[in-house]
Amino acid sequence: MTSEMTGLTAHTALMSEARSLLTGALTAYRDVPRAAQWLHARLRRLDEPLRIGVVGARGVGKSTALNAVAGRGLRDAVLVEVTTPTPSQDSGGTGWDDVDASLFLTRHARPADLATLRSAQDSPVASALPVGVVLVLCRADETSAGRIDALTTARQLARRHRRDVRWRALCQNVVALSGLLAHTGRTLRESEFADLATLAAVPRAELENVLLSADRFVGADFPVPMDPATRHALLDRFGVFGLRLATTLVRTGCDTRATLSAQLVRRSGLAELRETVTRCFVDRGEVLRARSALLALELVLEREPHPTAGRLAAELERVVASAHEVRELHALGNLTSGRTALSPELTAEADRLLGGQGTEVAVRLGMAEPPSPADLHAATTNALLRWQRQAENPLLDQHDRGLVATVVRTCEGILADLSG
Amino acid sequence: MTASSWLKVLDETIGICDAHGRPDLASALRRRRVRLLDPHLRVVVVGEAKQGKSQLVNALVNAPVCPVGDDVPPTAPTVVQHAASPAAFLVARPSEPGAPTTRTPVPVDRVARESAARAGLLRVEVGVPRGLLAGGLSFVDTPPVGEGGGARGDETLAALADADAVVVVSDATAELSPAALDLVRRVAASCPAVLCVLTKIDLVPGWRDVLERNRSLLASAGLAAPQFPVSATLRLRAADTGDRALNAESGFPALLCHLQREVLARRDQLARHVVATSVAAVLEPLVVRARADLERPRRAAPAATRLEEAQRQLDELRRRSTRCHQILADEMADLASDMDYDLRERTRTVLREVDRILDDADPLVVWETVEDWLGRNLSEVAEASATWLAERCRWIAEKAAAVLPVPGAEAGAGTVSALGVAPDELSSVDMPRIERFTVAQKTFIGLKSSYGGVLMFGLVTSLAGLPLINPVSLGAGAVFAGKSVRDESRSRLQRRQALAKAAVQRHVDDFFLRFGKDCRDAARHVHRALRDHFTAVAEEVQERVVESARLAREAATAEALDRERRTRELERLLTLRRRASALAVAGHGKPLEITA
C-alpha cells in the first residue's frame, strides 16, 4: 500500500505543480482574454488523455503509421497527425506544439530532420526537459531496394542512429517501422491469406520472376489464374517487398491467417514501436502532459508580458529545475535504447530503479512480495550506496555519469518518501 | 559547323578572361577546354542521399564498383571508365595543397567496400572492360547533395564543373522534392545535357503517376530535362540471367540509347552547348563590368567638362585683365590731368599771396622774408601734391585690382607706396637785380629839379625886383627838388616790385615745370609698375589655367579614346556572346535537351 502511494505521489508531484502554476497564471492573466483562454484550454488539457503527434513531412506515410500504431494497448492516449512545415510555408498552425509527445516520421533521418527537431525543442523549458520525441524510420520495407533482408537492415540503421550523439540529444529512441506491413498484418483478411497461399504454391523460380517488379506482378503474363484487380489490390496492400516476404513466410510455415498476421506485425517493427510508445509516452503520460503545460506557460510568459510574469517565470524555473521525473524519463529512454556503457546487470537495475518495469517502489527495488517498510528502507539504502559508488567510477563518460546521478537522485527520493 | 568554331570561341573567351584580369575564369575555361578535347565523355550522376545513384552506376556498367546499401554515404566521387582489364585506384586527398596525389591500387571486387571505409579520399577510379565505355564514356558517381557537409558539396560541385552530361537521380517512391528540383535547375544552368532518372520503379506500383507528376513539376519549373524510369535491380538481374526482355523492362536500354545517341554521337553539338553555356556564364560578369565601366564616367566629372571650365576661366581672366588695364590707363590719364590742374591751382594761390605782399612791401626790405616764405610754401605744395598723388595711385591700384580677381593683384597698392614721389630740393629764388637809390643820385636829382624852381621863381621875383637868387626862389627850388626826389624814389620802388614779382613768377613757373614733370614721371612710373604687376599676376594665373586646360584637354582626349576602347571591348564581348549563343542553336535550330 505504501508503495502504491509512493508511486502515485512521485508521479503527480510534477502534475500538481504544473496545475497550480497554470491556475496561478490564469488568475494573473484573467484580464488578457487571449492568454486566459489559452491557459484555460491547457488547464483542461491536463485532465484529458495524452496527445501523441504522428509528425512528418507530406507523403512520408503518417496515416499508415497512425493506423498501424493506433488500437488496443494505447489506452489513455490519442494519436494526432501533424505535418511538418516545408521551408516555403510558415510554421504557424501545424499543431506540433499542440501535442504532448511525438513520433517523428522520416525516411532517411537526414540532417534536415535534425534541424527540424532542434528548432522544435529550442525553448529553455523544452531543452531542460528533453523528452517526448521518438524517431521513426518509416517505410522500412523500402530499405535496401526491397531485398528480403530490408527490415533487418532497417533495424540496424535504427540502432546506428540511436547511438549517434546528434540524434541521442534530440529523441528518446529510434525505431524502424514498415507502416504498410504493420497495418496490413493487423488487418489481414482471410481472402488475402488465401490469395497469398495460392501465390506461395507457385514454383519458386516462377514466383520470383513475377515478383521482380510491381509491373510484372500486375502484368498479363501470370503463372496462376488470378484476377488482375485482385493482384492490384494485393500490391496496394502489401507492396512488392510485402508480397515477397508474405509468400516466403507462407511457404516456410505460416499456414494460418493468424500466424502470418503475427509474423508480419512482428517483423514490421510495430511491436517495438508500440512498446516504446507505451514505455516512453503512455506510462509517463502525466509527466508529459505536465511538461507540455509548462511549455505552454513558458510560451504565454514570453508572448504576453505581464506585471506578475516575473514571479511566474521564477516559479516555472524552479519547477523545471526540480522536475526529477522528467530527467528520469530521459535517462530511461537512453537506457532502453542501449545508449550506455554500463554492464548489463547495472543497466537492468538502473532500468528497474528508474521505473522502467513499473513506478511502484517495490517494483523499482525488485521486490516481488509485498515487503515490510523496514525491508524497503534497507533495500533502498543499499541501492543508494551502490549507485553512489558508481557515480565515482572514472571510466564512465559524461552521458553515463548523468544517468548514474539520476539513479542516485531517484534512490534519495524514494528514501525521502519512505522516511516522510 | 565544325569543331574548330566552338574551339575558336572558347579560346577567344579565355584570351578575354586573361585580358580582363580574371585568371580564375580563364583557368576554369581552360579546364573545360581540356575536358572537351579529352576523348572521354563524363556523365556525372547526382542526387540526394538514398535515391539509388551508386546502384544506377553499378547497373549501367553492370559491376558492383560503387558502394551501395544503407551505410554511410560515400564522401568521394567514383569515376568509372573503360580499361582493358579491371583495375581500381583510391586517390587520396593530398595532405597539403599542391602536393601530388597518391593512387593506391585495390582489387575491383573490393573497391566498393574500400572506398566506403576510407576517409580523406579525393576520388575513386575504376576501370572496367565494357563495350559501352570503350567509346569514351565514363560515369561519375557523386556523394549525395544536400547532406549539409561542406566538403561533400565541394566534391560534387567539382565533378559537375567537368561534366559533359548530368544525370539527376530521384527514386520513384516520391515525386521530385523542392531540393531535387532546385538541383536540376542549377545543373541545367551549367550543363546543357541534363537527364532525370527515376529509379526503383520495380518497387513502386504507382511509379507512372510519380513520373507524370515529375514531368509536370519539371515543365512548370521551365526545365526541359527528359525523364528515364529505370530499375537497377531488374537490370542487374537481367545481366545475371541474360534475360533480354527483363533488361528492356529495366529501362536501361532506353537510357543508354539516349546517352549513346544524344551524348556520345553528338559530341560536337554537346561541346558547342557546353561552350555556349560556359562562355555565356563567364562573359556575363565581364559584360556587366564593361557596361558599368562605360556608365561610370557619365557619373563622375568628365575631362570634357573640366576642359570647358578651364576655357571659361581663361576667357574670363583675359576679359578682366583687359578691363583692369583699361581702368588703369583711364585713371592714370585722369590723374595726370587732375594733378596738373591741382598743382597749378596751388602754385597760383602761392603766387597771388606773394603778389599781394609785394604790392605793399619793398622788395629791398622784405625779400628775405618773401624768399623764405615762398620756399616753405612751395615745399608744402610739393608735399601735399605728392601725398595726394600717392593716395590717388593707391586708390587706382585698388580699383584696378578689384576688377582682376586673382591672388596677388591687391599687392599693386604696395608697389605704389614703395615708389612714392619725393620733390627735388628746390633751388633758391634768384634775387632780382635791384638798383638802390643812392644819396648821390638823390642829390643829383634834387639839384636838377631845384634848378628849374629857382630859375622859375627867380625870374618872377626878379620882376618884383628881387634878385634871381632870393629866398623865394631858393624855397621853390627846394620844394621842386624834394618833389622830384620823392617821385623818383616811388617810381624806383615800383620798378623793384615789378622785378621782384617777375622773379617770383619765374621761380614758381620753374617749380611748376619741374615738379609737374616729377609728378608726371612718378605717375607714369606707378602706371608702368602697376601695369607690369597686373600683367605678371594675370599671366601667372593664366599660365596655370592654360596648363590645367591643356591637362583637361589631354584627359578628355584620353577619356574619349578610353571610352572608345571600352565600347569596342564591350562590342567585342557582346559579339562573342552572340557567337556563343549561336553555337547552341546552330545546326538544329533548337536546344539539344528537348530531344527524347
Percentage of chain A modeled with pLDDT above 90: 8
Q: Is B174 on the interface with A (CB under 8 A)?
A: yes
> Residue B593: is its pLDDT beyond 70?
no
d(CA A216, CA B80): 31
- By 3-state DSSP, what share of chain B in percent is helix, strand and coil, each rounded to 5? 70, 10, 20
Pairwise CB contact (< 8 Å): B203 & A239: yes
Instruction: Give the pLDDT confidence of B281-311 residue by residue, as tens digits.
Output: 888 888 888 888 777 655 556 677 777 888 8
| Closest approach of A224 to chain B, Cα-based (Å) | 20
> Residue A207: is its pLDDT beyond 60?
yes
| Closest approach of B192 to chain A, Cα-based (Å) | 28
Task: Select the more confidently predicted residue: B372 or B417.
Answer: B372
Contacts A214 to B, Cβ<8 Å: 201-205, 207
Pairwise CB contact (< 8 Å): B233 & A213: yes
Query: What was the pLDDT predicted at B412?
Result: 63
Pairwise CB contact (< 8 Å): A235 & B205: yes
A interface with B, Cβ–Cβ < 8 A, is 59, 86-88, 107-108, 110-112, 139, 142-146, 153-154, 156-157, 212-218, 232, 235-236, 239-241
> Residue B480: is its pLDDT beyond 70?
yes
What is the mean predicted confidence (pLDDT) over B60-87? 81
| Closest approach of B225 to chain A, Cα-based (Å) | 24
> Residue B420: is its pLDDT beyond 60?
no
d(CA A179, CA B43): 37
Contacts A180 to B, Cβ<8 Å: none
What is the mean predicted confidence (pLDDT) over B545-551? 84
> Residue A219: is its pLDDT beyond 70?
yes
Query: What was the pLDDT predicted at A6?
Result: 37
| Closest approach of B52 to chain A, Cα-based (Å) | 8
What is the mean predicted confidence (pLDDT) over B231-254? 88
Instruction: Give the pLDDT confidence of B211-221 residue by residue, as tens digits.
Output: 999 999 999 98
The closest alpha carbon to A289, from A333, A325, A244, belongs to A325
Query: What was the pLDDT predicted at B592?
Result: 41
Q: Is B425 on the interface with A (CB under 8 A)?
A: no
Query: What was the pLDDT predicted at B293?
Result: 77
User: Which residue in A110, A157, A213 is closest to B70 by CB distance?
Assistant: A157
What is the mean predicted confidence (pLDDT) over B174-198? 84
Closest chain B residue to A142 measured between Cα atoms?
B203
Interface test with B, best of A89, A144, A213, A230 (most B CBs within 10 A): A213
> Residue B251: is its pLDDT beyond 70?
yes
- In the structure, what pLDDT confidence band is assigned to residue B421 with cuts at 50, 70 and 90? low
Contacts of B246 (CB under 8 A, 6+ apart): A212, B234, B237, B238
Q: Is B213 on the interface with A (CB under 8 A)?
A: no
What is the mean predicted confidence (pLDDT) over B457-479? 84
> Residue A297: is its pLDDT beyond 60?
yes
User: Which residue in B50, B175, B203 is closest to A108 by CB distance?
Assistant: B50
Task: Select the more confidently predicted residue: B83 or A170.
Answer: B83
Contacts A154 to B, Cβ<8 Å: 70
What is the mean predicted confidence (pLDDT) over B446-460? 84
| Strand, helix or coil for residue B261 | helix
> Residue A77: is its pLDDT beyond 90?
no
Query: What was the pLDDT predicted at A92?
Result: 44
Query: What was the pLDDT predicted at A194?
Result: 92
- Going by the DSSP 8-state scheme, the letter that residue B259 receives in this structure is I
Query: What was the pLDDT predicted at B229?
Result: 93
Closest chain A residue to B208 measured between Cα atoms?
A215
Average pLDDT, chain B: 81
Sequence ranges of the domains in chain B: 40-83+135-265, 303-581
> Residue B513: is its pLDDT beyond 50?
yes
- In the structure, what pLDDT confidence band is assigned to residue A337 with cuts at 50, 70 and 90? low
User: How much is the pTM?
Assistant: 0.61
d(CA B563, CA B557): 10
Contacts A235 to B, Cβ<8 Å: 205
What is the mean predicted confidence (pLDDT) over A225-240? 90
Superfamily of domain B40-83+135-265: P-loop containing nucleotide triphosphate hydrolases (3.40.50.300)
User: Which residue in B52, B175, B202 is closest to A212 by CB distance?
Assistant: B202
CA B91 to each of CA B84, B100, B149, B196: distance values in angstroms, whole numbers, following the listed order:
20, 10, 20, 29
Burial of A262 (0-12, 13-18, 19+ CB in 10 A): middle
Q: Is B114 on the interface with A (CB under 8 A)?
A: no
Look at the block and give the residue holding cell 538544329. B588
What is the mean predicted confidence (pLDDT) over B160-187? 84
Q: Is B173 on the interface with A (CB under 8 A)?
A: yes
Q: Is B205 on the interface with A (CB under 8 A)?
A: yes
What is the mean predicted confidence (pLDDT) over B343-349? 88
Average pLDDT, chain A: 81
Interface test with A, best of B54, B176, B204 (most A CBs within 10 A): B204
Q: Is B247 on the interface with A (CB under 8 A)?
A: no
User: Which residue in B147, B200, B237 is closest to A212 by CB distance?
Assistant: B237
Three-class SS string for B316-383? HHHHHHHHHHHHHHHHHHHHHHHHHHHHHHHHHHHHHHHHHHHHHCCHHHHHHHHHHHHHHHHHHHHH
| Closest approach of B195 to chain A, Cα-based (Å) | 22
Task: Select the more confidently predicted residue: A369 or A301.
Answer: A301
Contacts A220 to B, Cβ<8 Å: none
> Residue B127: is its pLDDT beyond 50?
yes
Q: Choose the most confident range, by mean pLDDT, from A156-165, A239-248, B469-478, B564-573.
A: A239-248
User: Which residue in B147, B178, B203 is closest to A214 by CB distance?
Assistant: B203
The closest alpha carbon to A68, from A140, A7, A171, A15, belongs to A140
Query: What was the pLDDT predicted at B1?
Result: 44
Pairwise CB contact (< 8 Å): A156 & B70: yes
| B363-403 helix and B412-419 helix, angle to the nearest 10 degrees | 160
Percentage of chain B modeled with pLDDT above 70: 87
Query: What was the pLDDT predicted at B424?
Result: 56
Query: What was the pLDDT predicted at A326?
Result: 74
Pairwise CB contact (< 8 Å): B233 & A212: yes
Q: Give residues 141 to 160 of B whose Cβ lies within 8 Å of A.
A: 146-148
Q: Is B55 on the interface with A (CB under 8 A)?
A: yes
Interface test with A, best of B203, B210, B233, B249 (most A CBs within 10 A): B203
Query: What was the pLDDT predicted at A368?
Result: 73
